[in-house]
Amino acid sequence: MIPLHKVFMPPDMAGLTQSLSAVLESGWIGEGPKVLEFEQALQPKVGSQHVTAVNSCTSAIQLALRLAGVEFGDEVVTTPMTCAATNEPILIAGAKPVWADIDPSSGNIAPESIREKLTDKTRAIMMVHWGGYPCNIEEIMSIAKEAGVSVIEDAAHALGSTYGDAPIGSHSDFVCFSFQAIKTITTGDGGAL
């Protein structure tokens, strides 16, 4: 049987065990100095000076939608080729997810379909880097600029990916990362905006 949800752990767990013990003994298990260290260490990896750790990528998406000004009755052009946790925050905000088609060669949202789905109710475009493979960010950002809408990236599987010469996290208005158990790196759970 293939252990789909078993996380790889290093054979020598001594360093990991010491680090976990230090955090638990500090009393800071949800916030605190180690979270700040993590945010600061993540900044150069994602090409942003502004990184905020949150409890999940879903929460990061909820924050991004709020910061983008998405409200009840608005529309967000997004992709159906994703986990439900990408599009649920749109519904929680009272907005409507409008699904654009995907590019069959990449599994990513197709820019030409995004353009077709834009209306006067569109407030944001949300792209998902399917399997960590970057979307056509340049074209999507151009479409968003023309339409005057924000761009949110669900980069749950794209930590460490690059687009051009820059890391995913440095191209759009808001980028959301996941540290859930099966992601590129894990903190047990968690996310970042």
In this structure, is the dihedral angle defined by the CA atoms of residues 143, 146, 152 and 155, taken in order, positive or negative?
positive
Query: DSSP H helical segments within 13-79, as ranges?
Result: 14-26, 33-46, 57-67
6 part of the active site: no
Rounded to 10 degrees, the C-alpha dihedral 170/171/173/179 comes to -50
Spatial separation of the C-alpha atoms in residues 66 and 98, rounded to whole Å: 17
Spatial separation of the C-alpha atoms in residues 21 and 24, rounded to whole Å: 5
Instruction: Exactly one of 96, 117, 145, 183 is catalytic; name it.
Output: 183
DSSP output for 89-128: HHHHTT-EEEEPPB-TTTSSBPHHHHHHH--TTEEEEEEE
Active site residues: 183
